[in-house]
Structure 1
Amino acid sequence: MDATRNEALEAWMDEHGYSSNSLADAVNRALEQLTGRTGGLDGSSVRDWKAGRVRWPKSATRKALEAVSGLPATGLGFVPRGRTSSTPVAPQEDPDMKRRTLVGGIAVAAAAAAAPGPARPRRIGMSDVGRLQQRFAEVIASDHRYGGQLDIEQRAAVLADEALNLQNAGSATQRVRSNLYGCAASFRSSAMWAAIDGRRYADAKAHMREAQALAEMSGDQAIKFRIWSHAGAMYRHIGRPAEAFAANDVARNLHITRRDPMFASLGLARQAAIHGAAQDRTGTRRALDQAQDALQRMDPDAYRPVWLLAFYDQAELNSLALSAFLALGDYQTAEFHAHHCLATLRPHMRRSHAITATRLAHAQLAQGDLEAAAATAMQVPVDAATQHARVSRMLQEFGAALRARAPRSSTAQTWTEHTRDAWKAAA
């Protein structure tokens, strides 16, 4: 039988501006981060994927591709061995279920619902959970690309309600019901993060309370970690370090941080950022050293949820270190971590790139390097500079600091003209 083109992968590559060669390079870098060995993919490998000649890449390659895209392999049109795209996907009992999309099962369920016959109670199954988890992966991808947008928050909240509504839509096993609560908690945590990132803190707190209750009903340690870790970040952003420490400690004391060094590393890296906000230099360095050690001890092949794989790596650790040292006023060290972060950020992390570049500009300006600082700040994309609340505010603060330091300089004049033109373009 002739191979069927992978149109889902082609569409994703077109949307994100990847050629076959550039995607191969990105996956090779991700493979090196995951396995310690440089990947051997090239443009022909990706063309084989697109043409459908390779329907299910090797395990390590799939994980690297998922890390680059922020989506599960099935969400990119790949089909597990032994299945075809038209064959319904049976519910899975293995741990990888939390990252698989059961497209065939959804189609069968839809056909059954439309078929004539006596009304029967609907059976809610893991195919419904798989569909929700695919939508969650899409929300994660949108967040890393745009960040903080109200429509992301609203979409995540609607999907949380959809997951809860399924609880009353038919019969289900306890396993399915726990997973539905986990999906609802995941969506609420994304709504919470979008609100934090958009500086809508009252809304973030409301989402947090709902997410915490749903996570308790799910029993899912990973999503509990995400919610409490986000809470710590929220309190750090609003200048309440004591509450930030308390919330982050709840995340760090969950059993999952003892089972998986990657969770432990993220908790410690965020703890370092809180220490920086609290002006604790010793605590900052100690937490960062521990976070680095934990990251180096993690098993690259262990199962982890898509939200964690999509963003946490050495680049994110450097980003949190940058935040910490910037708060401490150690601008030289902050600049060091900024450059290392930008050098290793994955391509889909557009929001993180904008935030890191803005913080780098602040660090350069504080060291008196006006021209380099302005050049860095002007590299921030216009959409992020005008639409992302955190980036917009940091750039406004940058402009005020630049004008205060050198009000009549040509650099200040150039920055003023740049921002005026950027706002006009965005209007």
Structure 2
Amino acid sequence: MNTIGSSGSLVTPDVWNGREMRDALASRNISDIYKLLRRHGVSQRQIAAATGQSQSEVSEILKGRQVMAYDVLARIADGLGVPRGYMGLAYDGATAVRVAHSPSDSQAEEDETVKRRKFLSHAAAVAMGASVFGAEEGGWLPVSVQTPAPSRIGMTDVQQIQAATKALRDLDYRYGGGTCRDAVVAQLSWAQQLLGAQASDQVKQKLFVSLADMHSLAGWTSFDTGLMDPARGHFGRALEFAKQAEDDSLVASVLYRMGRVYLHYHQPNEALKLFQLGQIAAQDSGSALTVAVMCANEGWAYGMLDRPDQVQKMLGRTKDEFARADMSEAPEWVRFFGENDLHGMAGSAHDALAEFHPERYAPMAVAETIKCNQAYGADMQRTHVFGLSLQATNHIRAGDVQEGIKIGRRALEFGANVKSARVPDRLYPLQVEAGKQRMNSEAREFSEEVRLFRESREI
């Protein structure tokens, strides 16, 4: 592309500081921004290439079509080399703020079912060994402004990426993806440049692993803030890097996380396919803990499909694999799965079955979630919210309404500290079950309390 200004920008920096341009940027008026760029000699083709849009899209925007989707705005800002702060998109601890998607946005027009099918096909191709590294990404990832990177790297550089990923993952666990998603993406934008640096084969292999793990975190935090298209894109790249590194456990980890996305959106069949693909990689990895994670999640998916026989089979295998796992030898990205998570996953599977057979499985869900909720600390607040919500919901299903309300209020208390689009979603069953207690005024009031809390937390 023939650029006019400095590297990463179509124009010189002073253009972004002009009065008209700053007003257009502040109001996110992309049509006016493009018109002003045209005045400075930037062609529609150059704008399209920089922003990852088609020329027809650019033409429509110039004619007045609005752009409102947060991830599209961020991609445009990064592609044009605009400081994110000029458009109110800079990371400021409030990543969760997201502008509603425009019905006319091209990505929004693609049916969600088609996107799920495309990702599943891509995941299967990568997991089963197809050579897709560097292939077209289907518009999944945004163009990013890049800070200069070193021309040669060593193991220390890779370890810095790993340290950054760990620190950001800790933030995600503690406070939700809304507190760190932009920081992860920004770090990833820089880290990917290291692919062009000279390095030994050993360093390159570790770099692939580190980038896969960071892309996986970017996918997870995107999902946690409700940004599904970027989530799919990052998970897709994570799979490619993990496969390039020949790291089967990491391949399994990425597939597990994407499967969890589909479970959240009540698509257990698609989730199960991803978990089963991940199970193949987990077994090839030789990590019993990775196998346990996949089995537990398969059990949850079978619960949502009302398959109690398969749930018990998968939970039994989960316990067996967990018992023989050596934590000191387990890969970094599955060490989170401890005794608490074992009980939490069993509780989730029984909670899913309790939607079909509350009298039988709600007490079992309560028993398992009590075990995990008693041990969660401040470093796992989001997971604790989910566990308390499950426990409260199943107390009510089992007839212990007062205890359900008591535990439910604790879930709301912890949930107020977590920036996650999943929190209001995961609290919905609690609202429904409390609302069913029509003869109990306190339960009805609590149902309304949950509804108002959910509305206030939606991002």
Please confirm whether the aligned pair reaches a TM-score higher than 0.5, indicating the same fold.
yes
* Contact preservation (8 Å) 2:249, 2:285: no
**Which of 350, 353, 359 is equivalent to 1:328?**
353
Aligned-residue offset at 1:423:
8.1
1:418 Cα deviation from its structure 2 partner: 7.8
1:248 CA displacement: 0.9
| Cα gap change, 1:425 to 1:344, in 2 (>3 Å) | closer
**Cα offset, 1:351, TM superposition:** 1.3
Give the aligned partner of residue 162 of structure 1.
Answer: 190
Residue 349 in structure 1 maps to residue 380 in structure 2: yes
Q: State the distance in 2 between where 1:152 and 1:305 align.
A: 23
The alpha carbon displacement at 1:292 in A equals: 0.3
Q: Residue deviations 1:341-367, cap 9 Å, x none?
A: 113335522211111001111111112
Alignment of 1:118-129 (within 5 A): 122-129=151-158
The residue aligned with 1:142 is 171
Could you tell me whether the CA contact under 8 Å between 1:232 and 1:244 is conserved in 2? yes
Over the matched positions of the two proteins, sequence identity in percent amounts to 21
Q: Kindly tell me: are residues 319 and 293 of structure 1, through their superposed partners in 2, closer, same or farther at Cα, counting changes over 3 Å?
A: same
**Structure 2 letter corresponding to 1:317:** L
- In the alignment, which of 245, 249, 271 is matched to residue 244 of structure 1? 271
In the aligned structure 2, how far is the partner of 1:374 from the partner of 1:258? 44
Whether contact under 8 Å (1:140, 1:307) holds in the other structure is no
Quote the Cα distance in structure 1 between the aligned partners of 2:306 and 2:151.
56
CA contact (8 A) 2:282 2:290 kept: no
* Structure 2 partner of 1:413: 445
Match of 1:305 in 2: 331
Aligned mates of 1:220, 1:287 — CA distance in 2: 24
CA contact (8 A) 2:421 2:457 kept: no
The amino acid that maps onto 1:361 is A
**Which secondary structure state, in structure 2, belongs to the residue aligned with residue 379 of structure 1?**
helix
Aligned counterpart, 2:220: 193
Contact 1:251–1:267 (8 Å) recurs in 2: yes
Cα deviation, 1:205-242, whole Å, max 9, x if unaligned, reads: 12222222222222222321211111221222222222
TM-score (norm 1): 0.65
Deviations 1:179-221 (A, max 9, x none): 2122111111011112333343333212222222222222222
Distance 1:158 1:366, change over 3 A: same
2:366 equivalent to 1:338: no
Q: Give runs of aligned pairs for residues 93-242 of structure 1, distance below 5 A.
A: 122-149=151-178, 151-168=179-196, 170-242=197-269
**1:358 equivalent in alignment to 2:389:** yes
Match of 1:317 in 2: 342
How many angstroms does 1:398 deviate by?
A: 2.0
Equivalence map 1:1-150=2 (5 Å) = 122-149=151-178
What amino acid sits opposite 2:353 in the alignment? L
Instruction: Return the alpha-carbon distance in structure 2 between the equivalents of residues 426 and 327 of structure 1.
Output: 23
What's the offset of the Cα at 1:378? 0.5
CA shift, 1:295, in A, is 0.7
RMSD (Å), alpha carbons: 2.7
Deviation of 1:258 after TM superposition, in Å, equals 5.6
CA shift in 2, pair 1:374/1:351, >3 Å: same
C-alpha distance in 2, partners of 1:338/1:401? Answer: 17
Could you tell me which residue of structure 2 aligns to residue 107 of structure 1? none
Aligned to 1:171, the other structure's residue is in SS state coil
Aligned residues: 303
Please show how residues 371-386 of structure 1 align to structure 2 within 5 Å: 371-382=402-413, 384-385=415-416
1:389 aligns to what?
421
Q: Post-superposition shift, 1:146? A: 1.4
2:286 aligned partner: 259
Q: Structure 1 143/421 Cα, relative in aligned 2: closer, same or farther at 3 Å?
A: closer
Matched, 1:399 2:424: no
Task: Pick closer, same or farther for the CA change 1:333–1:257 going to 2, 3 Å.
Answer: farther
Classify the secondary structure of the residue corresponding to 2:402: helix
Structure 2 SS opposite 1:317: helix
Q: Given that residues 424 and 457 in structure 2 are in contact (C-alpha distance below 8 angstroms), is that contact kept between their aligned partners in structure 1?
A: no
- Say whether the 8 Å CA contact 1:236–1:244 is kept in structure 2: yes
What are structure 1's unaligned runs of at least 5 residues? 1-120
Residue 245 of structure 2 aligns to which amino acid in structure 1?
S
SS of residue matched to 1:393: helix
1:137 and 1:307 in contact (8 A); partners too = no
Supply the AA of the counterpart residue of 2:177: G
Per-residue deviation at 1:291? 0.5
Determine the C-alpha separation between the residues in 2 that align with 1:123 and 1:396. Answer: 51
Q: Secondary structure at the match of 1:253?
A: helix
1:396 CA displacement: 4.0
CA 1:256–1:164: 2 relative to 1, 3 Å:
farther
Shift of 1:154: 2.5
* CA pair 279-257 structure 1, distance change in 2 beyond 3 A: farther
